[in-house]
Amino acid sequence: MIKPHGSDTLDSRFVADDTRRAALLKEAGGLPALTVCSAAAANAVMLGSGYFNPLTGYMNLAEALAVAEGMRMPSGLFWPVPILNVVRPEQITEEIRAAKRIALRDPNVEGNPILAVMDVAAIEVMSDAQMTTLVEQIFRTQDREHPGVAAFTSVGNTVLSGSIQVLNLSYFANDFPETFRTAGQIRDEIARLGWQKVVAFQTRNPMHRAHEELCKMAKEAVAADGVLIHMLLGKLKKGDIPADVRDASIRKMVELYFPPNTVMITGYGFDMLYAGPREAALHAVFRQNCGCTHLIVGRDHAGVGKYYGPFDAQAIFDDIPAGSQEIEIFRADHTAYSKKLNKVVMMRDHPDHQPADYVFLSGTKVREMLTAGEALPEEFARPEVAAILAAHYQREAAAG
């Protein structure tokens, strides 16, 4: 199986031993406590799940700037996005400032339970210029209308760095018991299935016919044994489909339209960054940690609005030095149903086609049709999938 990123074995920061975890929870009850932001909590979950191997905790300011400017840690490790715990200055009490260890509390679970214990290596304040550098390099824009920029710039300017021991995986395991899996669990399942080549498909949306066929095309093109459909289960921007609805629709599609035992449906606990190229590179890192040999990177991967070119997320892999990653990228074009050929195709493969030869529906049109109870064209969406999405939009409409 493909090695994890940057190491021979996978290191999860989750404390799996029950006795040790109970002792740490008891210790944490007496430590200064800090309720972190949602992004920092998601970073802890990803560290605890092994997805951010070989990192052991949150980056300091120098590491974050090195990653932002050159996609490398000072150690030389390739890493595309800073992994930070950023808070507001007023959250740093004298007790926290004097502490060597603190308890991190979860903002996303009622009662703010303890999420992790952190060894505090440094507490640093970002200058405005440093914040600007991070935002510009990660997101390629300073526009506060960009949801990733808005989230990143709203949580404060004080960086806490240091290693962590993760004591629970937030709400993900409880809310999505059939779907949420750690990187180690996915590697174990790949080994159990005997798969050697695995192609990963990243999604924060439901999957329509074009996505379904893209997975099948990629599997065939790289001669993969199976497909990992890996959905984001964390925070999204307003208007995106909730994770439980996506989960149900994807499971129905796989059940009815994929050969048995060729797809693994899983999810991971992370908040969407909408960082386009940089997020695509991060997706590759943690899919390698899952044991995947290939990642599908398609049109406008991890993008939002008009902030990135349609294939910028593929182009970034041309700038990554050889040897930085072992995972390979399957570069996909826009896929759509061809009326001429009566099947879903990659548009780059058919230069003879005109726009009118394809079945296209905008996201707005899809939402309008589903809310009104109108059937989507079967060339665009499987009817069983469309029914699940229609029920969601109609509930939303009824709720006002």
pLDDT score recorded for residue 288? 98
Confidence class of residue 378 from pLDDT cuts 50, 70 and 90?
A: very high
Q: Specify the CATH number for 18-170; select among 3.40.50.300, 3.10.400.10, 3.40.50.150, 3.30.830.10.
A: 3.10.400.10
Residues tagged active-site = 204-205
The dotted CATH code for 178-268+274-399 is 3.40.50.620
pLDDT digits (tens, 9 = 90+) for 237-289: 887 888 999 999 999 999 999 999 999 999 999 999 999 999 999 999 999 99
For the chain, what percent of residues have pLDDT higher than 90? 93
The CA distances from residue 313 to 30, 132, 141, in Å, are 45, 22, 15
pLDDT at 174 over 90: yes
For the entire predicted model, the pTM comes to: 0.96
Is the pLDDT at 146 greater than 90? The verdict is yes
d(CA 153, CA 131): 8
Query: Contact, 143 vs 307, CB < 8 A?
Result: yes
Residue 115's contacts (CB-CB under 8 Å, 6 or more residues apart) are 36, 41, 44, 45, 104, 105, 106, 166, 167, 168, 170
- Kindly report the CA angle at 300 between 169 and 218, in degrees rounded to 5? 80
Quote the pLDDT of residue 349.
Answer: 94
Give yes or no for a contact between 92 and 45, defined as CB atoms under 8 angstroms apart. Answer: no
Instruction: Check pLDDT > 90 for residue 364.
Output: no
Q: Where are the domains of the chain?
A: 18-170, 178-268+274-399
Rg (Cα) of the chain, in Å, rounded? 21
198-237 confidence digits (pLDDT tens): 999 999 989 999 999 999 999 999 999 999 999 999 988 8
* CA gap 108, 123 in Å, rounded: 24
Q: Interhelix angle for 128-139 vs 277-290, to 10°?
A: 70
Provide the residue type at 255 as one letter.
E
Predicted pLDDT of residue 61: 98
Q: What per-residue confidence (pLDDT) applies to 399?
A: 85
Q: Of the candidates 286, 68, 266, 242, which has an alpha carbon nearest to the alpha carbon of residue 159?
A: 68
